[in-house]
Structure 1
Amino acid sequence: MSGAGAPSLQVDAAGARVAVIASSWHTVVMDGLVGGAQRALADAGVTDVTLVRAAGSFELPLLSLAHARAGFDAVVALGVIIRGGTPHFEYVCAAATDGLARVALDTGVPVGFGLLTCDTEQQALDRAGLPGSPEDKGREATEAALATWSVLRTLAD
């Protein structure tokens, strides 16, 4: 399982303003990812949270960019793309991944990368943070964004 060796990122992010941008496809998986993000935000003391549902994973970069430009301290992008029988999977995965990296680099706003790119639905369920899931990628993406925000804040002081 890829979660082996994951860091423990505990950040006090009270006062941070965070946008969670979540795809609408694969409802059960997405509900798990959003739940993990919400748990991580609560544990970090974040109370100013905006949840936005994107049509799909391809739309995550544009909505993340808009929220980064709107003054959010961090953005958490959550989605799931499950391989099918066409090259569509590769195109959407590459576009969403590259776009989210560009948002962070172009704006300086941390973007938590919670985009699952899985071969099967079971792989997505295993990473969704649901009861019985061995991994919680929604929590991990949120913790990464908050930890990055925390480091960037020290540079601004």
Structure 2
Amino acid sequence: MEITEKQLIDVKSVLSYRTRVLDSDLRNLVEFVSENIDALNLNINGNIIFSVFDTDTAGDLEYLNIEVLVPVSDSFKSNSKYVYKPYFRIENAVKLRHYGKYSDLKKSRSLIYEYLEENKLTPITNVYYKVIDNDSSSSVIDLYIGINSNIL
């Protein structure tokens, strides 16, 4: 897996949706959003991005508390479920491209954190996952994490 520095995510007109989902249902959630965004009279205008803010378990089940960011074609009025963000931007990010199943994303996340530690880079954002290809057997997802550009 190739890791690159000084990357940028710059998206305009974004729908933000916070939810809780089973770890095993994450790919299905991305697919559902892709297929049903038109119910809000919106069109997707780029790659879906998500970030995991924390996890909790109930028995053997792991739940992810996530934010899904969907680039959309038009602005809309925020409501109790969906928040409109005119911009979403992360500068000076480290990027790792993940090829494989969603269940292996934890391994890729560990690799990007190992890279940060080895190169003495300080993360200043969560990991953001940009879905390039949502195939059920071999997805392509770019992991981005913003790093501190200060030299102390």
Q: Report the TM-score range of the alignment, normalised by the length of the smaller protein.
A: 0.3 to 0.5
Question: If each structure's strand is expressed as a fraction of its own residues, which one has the higher value?
Answer: 2
Question: If each structure's helix is expressed as a fraction of its own residues, which one has the higher value?
Answer: 1
> Which has the larger Rg?
2
Q: TM-score, normalised by structure 2?
A: 0.32
Q: TM-score, normalised by structure 1?
A: 0.31
